[in-house]
């Protein structure tokens, strides 16, 4: 049976240390983020990332997102980030805004697309437990714990995984439904909103007036 760890009771430091140990050992864990429970693994452990895709039933070529702890860490895995994107990162990170950026050359990872997409999607999470974790582990591959194409999982009883695939589930109980993250393309000299979500286009334009919006809000 898969181990479920209640983050709202018991020894918080022991819970954190266990998550850290499992990630560093190359395992996958499930944990809460702002808009649902997610699967997490070291972004540089190929087998763990492949396990995330297998659990979700992702099609070939689908890439996980990457969580980082700071813009300084991002600079180690990305290149040619537009100044306008950096301004948005400074304003809204940690938070529910993701940026599609160009990856650094020669990274020894495969997020699921074998590098064919030409970009990586990155974010600094605002969730305390996961943010603290990524500060210690380095970049984490992340994807919803829900099957591909399904809504986010808000209750741990809806997480259907095998103990052989996921080492443990870290729970804070039921999550509230919230908007998806806003997604911004920053892999060219300009920045464009691909999906308007938790952070509105108006809020973004207050920081970067030249940012363009999606044809329709999602």
Q: How far apart are CA 192 and CA 95, in angstroms?
A: 18
Q: How many CB atoms are closer than 10 A to CB 62?
A: 15
Cβ atoms of 66 and 125 within 8 Å: the answer is no
Mean pLDDT of the 196-215 span: 92
pLDDT (0 to 100) of residue 201: 95
pLDDT band at 213 (very low <50, low <70, confident <90, very high): confident
CA-CA-CA-CA torsion for 79, 84, 90, 93, nearest 10 degrees? -80
Both tokens assigned to 195: 């999906």
pTM of the shown model: 0.95
pLDDT at 218 over 70: no
Q: How far apart are CA 82 and CA 92, in angstroms?
A: 16
Enumerate the domain spans of the chain: 3-77+99-177
pLDDT digits (tens, 9 = 90+) for 170-201: 999 999 999 999 999 998 888 999 999 999 99
pLDDT at 215 over 80: no
Q: How far apart are CA 144 and CA 41, in angstroms?
A: 12
Select the CATH number that applies to the domain covering 3-77+99-177 from these four: 3.40.50.300, 3.90.870.10, 3.90.1150.10, 3.20.20.370: 3.90.870.10
Q: How far apart are CA 7 and CA 203, in angstroms?
A: 33
Q: How far apart are CA 126 and CA 124, in angstroms?
A: 7
Mean pLDDT of the 205-210 span: 95
pLDDT at 78 over 80: yes
pLDDT digits (tens, 9 = 90+) for 124-147: 999 799 999 999 999 999 999 999
Both tokens assigned to 117: 């997409």
The mean pLDDT value of the chain amounts to 94
**Residues in CB range of 88: below 8 A, 6 or more apart:** 97, 99, 184, 191, 204, 207, 208, 211
pLDDT digits (tens, 9 = 90+) for 82-126: 999 999 999 999 999 999 999 999 888 999 998 888 899 999 999
Burial 169-199 (b: 16+ CB within 10 A, else e): bbbeeebeeeebbbbbbbbeeebebbebbbb
pLDDT at 63 over 70: yes
């Amino acid at each position: 049976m898969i181990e479920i760890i209640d983050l709202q009771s018991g020894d918080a430091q022991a819970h954190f240390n266990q998550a850290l140990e499992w990630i560093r050992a190359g395992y996958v864990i499930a944990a809460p983020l702002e808009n649902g429970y997610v699967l997490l693994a070291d972004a540089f452990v190929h087998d763990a990332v492949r396990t995330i895709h297998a659990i979700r039933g992702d099609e070939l070529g689908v890439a996980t997102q990457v969580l980082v702890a700071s813009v300084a860490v991002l600079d180690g895995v990305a290149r040619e980030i537009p100044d306008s994107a950096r301004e948005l990162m400074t304003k809204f990170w940690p938070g529910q805004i993701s940026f599609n950026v160009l990856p650094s050359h020669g990274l020894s990872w495969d997020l699921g697309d074998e590098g064919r997409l030409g970009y990586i999607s990155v974010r600094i999470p605002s969730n305390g437990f996961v943010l603290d974790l990524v500060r210690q582990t380095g970049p984490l591959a992340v994807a919803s714990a829900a099957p591909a194409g399904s809504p986010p999982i808000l209750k741990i009883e809806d997480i259907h995984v095998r103990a052989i695939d996921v080492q443990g589930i870290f729970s804070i109980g039921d999550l509230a439904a919230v908007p998806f993250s806003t997604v911004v393309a920053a892999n060219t000299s300009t920045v464009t909103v691909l999906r308007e979500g938790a952070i509105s286009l108006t809020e973004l334009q207050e920081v970067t007036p030249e940012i363009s919006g999606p044809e329709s809000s999602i």
